[in-house]
Amino acid sequence: MDGDDGDDVIYGNGFISGGLGYEMIHSGAANDIIQSGALTS
């Protein structure tokens, strides 16, 4: 779950990301979008 190898990570309400996507989420860049449910599956 370090996001460096691009492994899929389940985040929050079914949000799946990997690699740079995971890094972006943990930087808080997409946090508000995720909380709004826009990127949840």
For position 25, what pLDDT does the model report?
57
How far is 26 from 12, CA to CA, in rounded Å?
Answer: 12
Q: How many domains does the chain have?
A: 1
Please give the residue range of the domain that contains residue 41: 1-41
For position 24, what pLDDT does the model report?
56
For position 41, what pLDDT does the model report?
52
- Backbone phi, then psi, for 36, in 5-degree steps? -80, -15
Q: How confident is the model over 1-41, as pLDDT tens digits?
A: 454 555 555 555 445 555 556 555 555 656 666 666 655 55
For position 20, what pLDDT does the model report?
55
Predicted TM-score (pTM) of the model is 0.19
For position 23, what pLDDT does the model report?
58
